[in-house]
Chains A and B, each alone.
Chain A
Amino acid sequence: MLAGWTYQLKQKRYLARCQHARMREYLRAAAPSRKADFRKSCYLAVDLEMTGMEVDSDHILSIGFVPIDNMRVTLAGARHILVSSSLGVGQSAVIHGIHDRDMVGASSLSEAMDCLLEALQGRVLLLHYAALDLAFLQEASQRLYGVPLLAMVADTLVLENQRLQRNSAGQHGQGLRLSDCRRRYNLPDYHAHNALVDAVATAELFLAQVAHRFGCEHAPLTRVVSS
């Protein structure tokens, strides 16, 4: 886990390297406090739709995000941004239902990332299976701003895995997909599949997970974030 001082070190190093105004503003903002109770922090649940799983050959199709303030998912801050690409949507249309014809009026990746940075400022980045989405975000950040995306990350998949390991008896082979996890908390099935719906679904799952794990017990943010 990234300790507080490593975060600050990276913050300084990236600021020295990066000239991009949007990213500089993002980096200058105060990071959420690690020691304070996690309920005091603000979060941004994010989900990406990509053309595939390979960072090198695939690209981001859309970004959906929704903030959590005071432990409430706030839809008024939700966005769903379609990302245009010269490569076209290709085969993934089958999964996401996003077709080339829908991409009219879509944003460029740099507009989309600027928008994400603005929303993420001062918040914990919340993802389900962070490794994959984070790889794409890092790649985009590196390419657009010359530095990786610096963020504290909470991962609902990791939280769920921890929970299953804690009550390990007879719990093997339980699915960790977003919908599997949600069902265990009696959360509703959302049938539509897009980046925003999945971001909302991730945010709700997070609220359920921390309610079950901590109840009203005080817990610092470090117990919730994985990096």
Chain B
Amino acid sequence: MTVSVEVAAIREFLAGCPPFDELPAETLGRAASKVQIAYYRAGDPSAVLDYSSPRLYVVRTGAFEVRDSEGQLLDRVEPGGYFGYPSLLTGDAITNQLTVIEDGLVYQLDGDLFQALRSASRPFDRFFNRAHANRLRHAVRFREQSYQLTRRVGDIFSREPVVASADQTVAEVARLMTAERVSSVMVIDDRGRLYGLVTDRDLRIRVVAEGRSADTPLAEIMTTDLVSVSAESLVFEATLLMTEHNIHHLPVLRDGSPAGMVTTTDLIKAQKADPVLLIGEIGHQETVEGLQQVSRDIPELLGSLIRAGASADQVGRLLTTVTDALTRQLLQQAMDKLGPAPTAFAWLAFGSQGRQDQAAISDQDNGLLLSDGATGEDDSYFKALATYVNDGLDRCGYKYCPGEVMAITDRWRQPLVGWKKQFLGWINQPSTKALMHASIFFDMRCVFGDKALFADLQQTVCNAARGNEIFLANLTANALKLTPPMGFFKHFVLEHSGEHKHAFDMKLRGIMPINDIARIHALAAGSTEIHTLARLREAATNRQITLKDARNLIDAHEFISRLRLEHQGAMLKAGSKPDNYLDPKTLSSLSRHQLRDAFAVVTSAQAALRAKFTRGLM
């Protein structure tokens, strides 16, 4: 008897993990019958990769971290994820370290089997090559982000160079500098090579102070003994050069030609683009003006996170952490001014701040939950508190909510009993119309204050929503109104009106539908989870959706969010106001292809949602 047999449970699990789902049935069966299974215990140092024979590890349960030989985190692997493939692909010795975060079972495929599957299936091969490339890219960028010292000059200089030629006059160049709002120009020769530098200081010392005429050619006053750096140089090298030579302007060259200018201001900004420092600074501000000043660095933080290759999820969490810190500091300032709160309260964040997925543009969505004992007199205290915080946030760049969902609005500043009544009204007497603007409230999080008070409200909401078919059907009906523009690729006609006629609203048509799907599943299960990706993972664990669908939706969410971030980063860099509108013409064909895949995932998840929650009710 030599026929191997397969274990259905293992085959089914693999079949739910891309790219195993792409394998022909027979190949998948053969692979499943050759799996080896090991169990790893959290913190067990003996649980290391088998260095003698590289293999593909598929996580069945538990959580693992892969770090490089220097201890740098490369990947966090959860059920359905893989590790061990880089050495299988490259043939290099294993150098990464494995840490067990949570006990778990791991399926293993040996090297021969892995290679056989690669040659049997192109999608399988492509999947792991791409995963490998992604991890490499992630590793490289991750390092740059974490070590301020390893950032390159090319990442931080602010603009294209402003240039002039040596025979132009001082008057001409002074006008040019004023128009371009720069404090220096690079002087180039007729072959476009850097030749000299003229700064504000030169105009003052060598022209005005020495009484030269405005017709003096630049050649007579410019500095020719130049210090410069290449765009590939490290930021700290540039800093050293500038300190050493006591200069404030440093020309940046790319292949010998001027690429831009680094100024001391750029260097200071580059140092500010660190979320930890930024949050530390927020905690020290005693006035709204101080916070307003600090929050000017947020766009720079966003830009540096995007350039550092942080995932959209990481960026969302970081930006939200900053918003939370600003909110808490404003509350603290208000309480210093108004005196301590007369009763217990909780400051609630809704919508994107609640879900921790804020991006470059955020309105305020917040409310105040008061203890049931609050009197009318107490409310005037809280109204003053809310006014201080809402105004403060607006001044820090978080515009007043157009729908007035803010603590300053009486309706959204209520005792517990009032909030419960509000939520139970939405849940128990739902109407599609009433719920239309209510969905953001179901993404609520306590940013400051009495956690027990908040937990009471949250539990009431979860209990009432769990399995409530009519409520879920109404939510679903609303969610299905926003669909991804599948016609996008055919006609490129998107938003039908307004200034963004030919653009696609990435938030409204791409990210929100996924948030809606995640929210409905969480509410159906009575879950208190609010983060979209966590909600999807939980829905897979609860078997509300398949692991494969969850992973596809998570990937789609990350992809569209990342596209939006890059778009917003580019707008910030160009000095314009960021928005959510993507012009399809700006997409590469690869991105367009991936976007189509992402839309298809959302569309099919919406169809499943319709079948599950609206059957017979709508």
Partner of A73, one of B1, B36, B62, B102: B36
| Tier of interface size on chain B | 20 to 34
A173 within 8 A of B: no
Contact across chains for B9 and A74 when beta carbons are under 8 A apart: no
Most A C-beta atoms less than 10 A away, residue of B39, B60, B102, B103:
B39
Contact across chains for A78 and B37 when beta carbons are under 8 A apart: no
Complex Cα gap A185–B9 (Å): 18
Q: Is the interface of A mostly helix, strand, loop or mixed?
A: mixed
Q: Which of B41-49, B228-236, B238-246, B316-324 contacts A (4 or more CB under 8 A)?
A: B41-49
Contact across chains for A190 and B108 when beta carbons are under 8 A apart: no
B104 within 8 A of A: yes
Shortest beta-carbon distance, B40 to chain A, in Å? 7
| 8 A Cβ contacts from B322-336 to A | none
A-B contact pairs, 13 of them (CB 8 A): A75-B32, A75-B33, A76-B4, A76-B36, A80-B5, A185-B39, A186-B104, A200-B37, A204-B105, A211-B41, A212-B103, A215-B41, A216-B45
Chain A: interface residue total (CB-CB under 8 A): 30
Contact across chains for A78 and B46 when beta carbons are under 8 A apart: no
Shortest beta-carbon distance, B265 to chain A, in Å? 53
Q: Which of A19-27, A88-96, A191-199 contacts B (4 or more CB under 8 A)?
A: A191-199
Complex Cα gap A186–B104 (Å): 8
Which 10 residue pairs of A and B lie closest in terms of their CB atoms, listed nearest first?
Answer: A207-B39, A73-B37, A211-B41, A216-B46, A190-B9, A72-B36, A75-B35, A208-B39, A72-B38, A80-B5
Chain B residue, CB-CB nearest to A216: B46
Complex Cα gap A204–B60 (Å): 12
Complex Cα gap A33–B32 (Å): 32
| 8 A Cβ contacts from A128-166 to B | none
Complex Cα gap A192–B6 (Å): 13
A29 within 8 A of B: no
Q: Which residues of B contact A188 (CB under 8 A)?
A: 9, 13, 60-61, 105
Contact across chains for B37 and A204 when beta carbons are under 8 A apart: yes
Shortest beta-carbon distance, B495 to chain A, in Å? 46
Chain B residue, CB-CB nearest to A66: B7
Q: Which residues of A contact B6 (CB under 8 A)?
A: 75
Q: Which residues of A contact B62 (CB under 8 A)?
A: 186
Partner of B105, one of A76, A80, A187, A215: A187
| Extra A-B contacts (14), CB below 8 Å, given A76-B4, A188-B13, A212-B103 | A71-B38, A72-B108, A76-B36, A79-B5, A185-B39, A186-B61, A192-B8, A204-B37, A204-B39, A207-B38, A211-B41, A211-B103, A215-B41, A215-B44
Q: Which residues of A contact B5 (CB under 8 A)?
A: 78-80, 196
A31 within 8 A of B: no
B138 within 8 A of A: no
